[in-house]
Amino acid sequence: MLNRIIIMGRLTRDPELRQTQSGIAVVSFTLAVDRSFKKEDGEKETDFIDIVAWRGTAEFVNKYFFKGKMAVVEGRLQLRDWTDKEGNKRRSAEVVADNVFFGDSKKEDDGRPSAGGPYSPAPTVYTEPEYTELDLDDGDLPF
C-alpha cells in the first residue's frame, strides 16, 4: 500500500508552533494550492490544505516559513475523526509532513531568515572552499 503526497503552495498564515504535554514540537499551517486547470470562466480554483509537522520538521517550519512563503510538502494523507463542541461527529483530512522544502527562489524572499533544502537536524551553511594553486608540470600528472 502507498500513501504519499507531494504538494506545493503558499502558506495562508504564519505557522502555529505548539508543544505536546510530553514536550514534542508540533506545527500546523495551511497551504493554498492552485489546481492545474481553469474553470469555464478562465479562473483557477485553489484548494486550502491543512498540514501538520512534528518534532524537528515542526521547528524548521516555524523558524523559516511565514504567511505567503512558497513551500513544497512531502508526506502522507491522514483522516481524523473527532467530535465537535455540540457533540457532532466530524472528519477532517490533513497532510502529515515528512519533509518540507523551500519553493521560493532567494530573489523572491522578503528578507526573513532562509536556508536551502529540506529540514535537516542542523541546517548547514555552505561556504566556498579555499583553493591553492599547484605548481606542476603536465608530465607530473598521471593522465
High-pLDDT (> 90) share of the chain, %: 62
CA 142 to chain centre: 47
Task: Map grid coordinates 506545493 to a residue.
Answer: 8
Q: Tell how strand 89-102 and strand 44-54 pair up.
A: parallel
With beta carbons less than 8 A apart as the criterion, state whether 12 and 47 touch. no
Which neighbouring-strand residues pair with 27? 17, 53
With beta carbons less than 8 A apart as the criterion, state whether 112 and 104 touch. no
Bigger pLDDT: 78 or 42? Answer: 78
Q: pTM of the entire structure?
A: 0.69
Q: How confident is the model at residue 104 (pLDDT cuts 50, 70, 90)?
A: confident
Q: What's the CATH fold of domain 5-105?
A: OB fold (Dihydrolipoamide Acetyltransferase, E2P) (2.40.50)
* Spans of all domains in the chain: 5-105
**51: pLDDT strictly greater than 70:** yes
